[in-house]
Amino acid sequence: MNIKIIGVGKLKEKYLKQGIAEYAKRLGTFCKFEIIEVPDEKAPETLSDAQMLMVKQKEGERILSKIKDKEYVYALAIEGKERSSEEFASELDNLGTYGKSDITFVIGGSLGLSKEVMQRADTKISFGRFTLPHQLMRLVLTEQVYRGFMINAGRPYHK
């Protein structure tokens, strides 16, 4: 199985990089795992709706250029479906069983994802109604993917 996370912006925080590196190493047992960073657009605090749309579209084009046709895409979005860790694990397992072994997760920038990226997504996933920094979300998502593989392997990590 191939798992890819596409994130907008460069991860700078050392503690987040270390956490992701640890889970990425652990994931090596189960899958090929990679994180792709696409550049974010500079977005001052006060943007018009048109400017916000433009930022999301530019970031969205960069994201879409990293997605192949055969990939099953999860868009991380507050309006997505919430899942328990066990439900998520089962979903990953089922995707692999039915030939969807290239799975891509997309984390937008500070303004979210473009309409085009949302339309390309096969499903939307939410980690709750909290707003989390998109950099932190990479670590949370990587841990949940690892947790899913551990649940599917029947290993005790997730308790």
Q: Please tell me whether 128 is known to bind a ligand.
A: no
Round to whole Å and give the CA distance between 24 and 5: 11
Name the residue type at position 16: L
The residue whose two tokens read 């991380």 is 76
Annotated binding residue 76: yes
CA 134 to chain centre: 9
List, in order, residues 6 or more apart from 63 with CB less than 8 Å away: 6, 8, 38, 106, 108, 113, 114, 117
> Residues in the chain, how many?
159
How far is residue 23's CA from residue 72's CA, in Å, rounded to a whole number? 21
Which residues are known binding-site members for S-adenosyl-L-methionine? 76, 108
Which residues are known binding-site members? 76, 108
